[in-house]
Amino acid sequence: MRNLLIGAVAPAALMAATPADSRPSRVDIPIQIDPNSSIYVLWVKVRAEGDHTIVSGYVRQKRWFARSRGHLHIAFLSQGQQVACQESDWKKYRYRSRGQWRFTSSVQIAASTIDSVRISHVDHERVPDSTPRSMTACPASAVDSEQHLGGA
């Protein structure tokens, strides 16, 4: 009986001992997903962990036979202005499901300063020559060097 009591109290004591900020908390920030003819961006979540904002979700091909090309541009916006942008190479981290991949991106900006997140799929090989690459790429000044690809 004594072991049963210790077994019941120990997890509660461990949970009380860990700081409340140690786990990321989900944040309600609007997400804009630019429409694309080749992929679906699914189940996107925005979480705050201290002074970091983490965006994660899944990518699925619209056609099962399609090749996985391109990458995601994840732009963090504040008052309509882009404050950070990352390119996520989602092809590296396959989810258990066939044809579905996981992406995760993290920036060192507090979630309270971000108004919205914009996600777009870009395939630089398919961009027509008449379109300037600066319109389809994250600007070098806004690209954050810290990036977590795959599981969060």
Averaging pLDDT over each range in 9-13, 17-21, 27-31, 61-65, which range is the top one? Answer: 27-31
Q: In the block, which residue shows the tokens 């777009």?
A: 120
Half-sphere exposure of 90 (CA within 13 A, CB side): 33
In angstroms, the first-to-last Cα distance of the chain is: 39
Q: pLDDT tens for residues 25-61?
A: 888 899 999 988 788 899 999 999 989 999 999 888 8
Q: Which CATH architecture has domain 23-136?
A: Sandwich (2.60)
Domain ranges across the chain: 23-136
pTM above 0.75, yes or no: no
Confidence of residue 133 (pLDDT cuts 50, 70, 90): very low
- What is the DSSP-derived secondary structure letter of residue 20? G
Q: pLDDT tens for residues 70-110?
A: 788 999 999 989 999 998 877 666 666 667 888 889 999 99
